[in-house]
Chains A and B, each alone.
Chain A
Amino acid sequence: MNAPFGETGALGPSAVLWLAPIIGFAFGWFLERGGLGNARKLAGQFYLTDLTVFKVMFSALLTAMLGAYWLDQFGLLDLQLVYLPETFVAPQAVGGVLFGAGFLVSGLCPGTSCVAAASGRLDGLAVVGGMLAGVFAFNLAFGWIEAFYDSTALGAVTLTDLAGVPRGVGVAVVTVLALGGFALAARIERRVK
Chain B
Amino acid sequence: MKRPQPYLDPYLAGVGIGLVLLSAYVVAGRGLGASGAFASVVAASTAAVRGTEVAASSPATAPYLVDGIASPLGDWLVLELIGVIAGGFLSAWFAGRTRRGIEHGPSIGARQRLYAAVAGGIVMGFGAKLARGCTSGQALTGGALLSAGSWIFIAACFASGYALAPLARRLWR
A contact set with B: CB distance below 8 Å: 3-7, 11, 16-17, 19-40, 43-47, 51-52, 55-65, 67-68, 71, 77, 79, 81-89, 91-111, 113-124, 126-139, 142, 145-146, 149, 154, 156-162, 167, 170-171, 174, 182
Contact = CB atoms under 8 A, between A and B. Distances in A.
Nearest to A37: B88
Interface string B118-159: 111111111111111111111111111111111111111111
Interface residues of B, number: 120
Interface of A is mostly: helix
Contacts, number: 531
Contacts of B161: 45-46, 100-101, 103-104
27 contacts: A17-B79, A27-B32, A28-B86, A28-B89, A28-B91, A32-B97, A40-B105, A46-B165, A46-B172, A63-B19, A64-B31, A68-B25, A91-B130, A95-B128, A98-B123, A98-B130, A102-B121, A103-B120, A103-B161, A104-B161, A105-B116, A115-B88, A118-B88, A134-B125, A134-B128, A142-B60, A159-B147
A43 B148 CA distance: 26
Contact of B97 (A109, A119, A128, A171): A119
B134 A119 contact: no
B59 to A, nearest CB: 6
Q: What are the nearest 5 A-B pairs in CB distance? A: A130-B121, A134-B125, A63-B18, A24-B83, A106-B120
Given A95-B153, A113-B121, A57 B35 contact: no
B152 A89 contact: yes
